[in-house]
């Protein structure tokens, strides 16, 4: 069987189309899969209170929270988007979700969709040794502060 130049180029074109289609399908599947990271279960110790300055908002990676400190005390905002569970990042004075574009205010309120509810607030406590800890399984309201 002889392969003509025309048949070779036709097969090359079809092969290129199939490879490009497969790559596009893989990219599309990746787009539909959110960047979900499951937080550690139970309380997570996050250090001593003097590590966090007044007015700060610090990302605590292993606890999947942003720990804030204001004049009323400590509070923790979940670093998991309420839309699809992606990890929003602090972008200036707002949280921005890289997956679908939700934006949240510094206090967790929704600024732009697709998220419809604010970022969750989680419990911040102080252990017997004086260290702070967060417990993601206990949600609190936005007014909660650890003094």
Given pLDDT bands bounded at 50, 70 and 90, which one contains residue 39? low
Higher pLDDT, 59 or 31: 59
What digits encode the pLDDT tens for the residues 74-113? 999 999 999 888 889 988 889 999 888 899 999 899 999 8
- pLDDT tens-digit readout, 45-60: 999 999 999 999 999 9
Strand partners, 90: 95
User: Could you tell me the pTM of the whole model?
Assistant: 0.72
Domain boundaries, the chain: 1-33, 44-140
Dihedral of CA 34/35/41/47: which sign? negative
Homologous superfamily of domain range 44-140: Rieske [2Fe-2S] iron-sulphur domain (2.102.10.10)
Position of tokens 């003094």? 147
Contact yes or no for 125/135 (Cβ under 8 A): yes
User: pLDDT value at position 93?
Assistant: 87
């Amino acid at each position: 069987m002889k392969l003509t130049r025309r048949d070779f180029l036709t097969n090359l074109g079809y092969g290129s189309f199939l490879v490009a289609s497969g790559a596009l399908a893989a990219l599309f599947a990746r787009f539909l899969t959110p960047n979900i990271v499951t937080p550690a279960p139970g309380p997570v110790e996050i250090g001593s209170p003097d590590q966090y300055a007044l007015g700060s908002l610090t990302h605590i990676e292993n606890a999947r929270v942003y720990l804030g400190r204001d004049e009323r005390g400590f509070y923790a905002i979940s670093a998991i988007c309420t839309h699809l569970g992606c990890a929003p990042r602090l972008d200036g004075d707002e949280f921005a979700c890289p997956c679908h574009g939700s934006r949240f205010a510094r206090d967790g309120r929704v600024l732009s969709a697709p998220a419809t509810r604010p970022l969750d607030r989680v419990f911040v406590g102080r252990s017997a040794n004086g260290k702070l800890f967060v417990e993601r399984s206990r949600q609190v309201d936005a007014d909660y502060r650890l003094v």
